[in-house]
Amino acid sequence: MNQVLTLGIVCDGERVLLGMKKRGFGEGRWNGFGGKVEEGETLEVALCREFEEEVCIVPQSYEEIGLLKFTFDSVPDILEVHIFKIDEFSGEPFETEEMRPKWFTHSEIPFSDMWSDDVYWFPYLLESKKFEGHFHFDRPADKNHEGKILGYEIEEIF
């Protein structure tokens, strides 16, 4: 079964806006903003809804720049994550019960406190290169354990 999700990263010149996940899945990690696409939603509607819920801003100018698929040993589910680069937004980033936003320069991105796959695809995003990737883990992540990357492919697409 495929689960479709969105993930948006706000890029402002040499800075990116990330959020510290304060509860639930991914708690204690820096990440972009996004989540599950609900039944009847487009990717864009889901992206904007998640941004509003998690950081109180609404993307105004954005582009789908990447597609990542995540698979796991002995689990048939595939996570399909559509990555968006956000260039403009309305509102001011505001801490919510779920996320604490913070701006990072490109050289300060806290990869050691992010999902382990981020270090592989983030450079494509920062360079505005469209990409597709597939990461295969030993197990799905849960609250306490991410799973180990057993293999991955990532490539620029045109």
- pLDDT, residue 76, reads 87
For 52, 82, 129, 144, 151, the CA distances from 138, given in Å and listed in that order, are 33, 22, 28, 15, 9
Tokens of 86: 């956000």
Count structural domains, the chain: 1
112: which residues sit within 8 A by CB, 6+ positions away? none
pLDDT tens by residue, 77-124: 899 999 999 999 999 999 999 999 999 999 999 999 999 999 999 999
- Domain enclosing residue 97, as ranges: 2-156
Report residue 26's pLDDT band, with 50, 70 and 90 as the boundaries: confident
Instruction: Indicate the pTM of the whole model.
Output: 0.95
Residues near 75 by Cβ (< 8 Å), separated by ≥ 6? 139, 140
Residue 35's domain is classified under what CATH number? 3.90.79.10
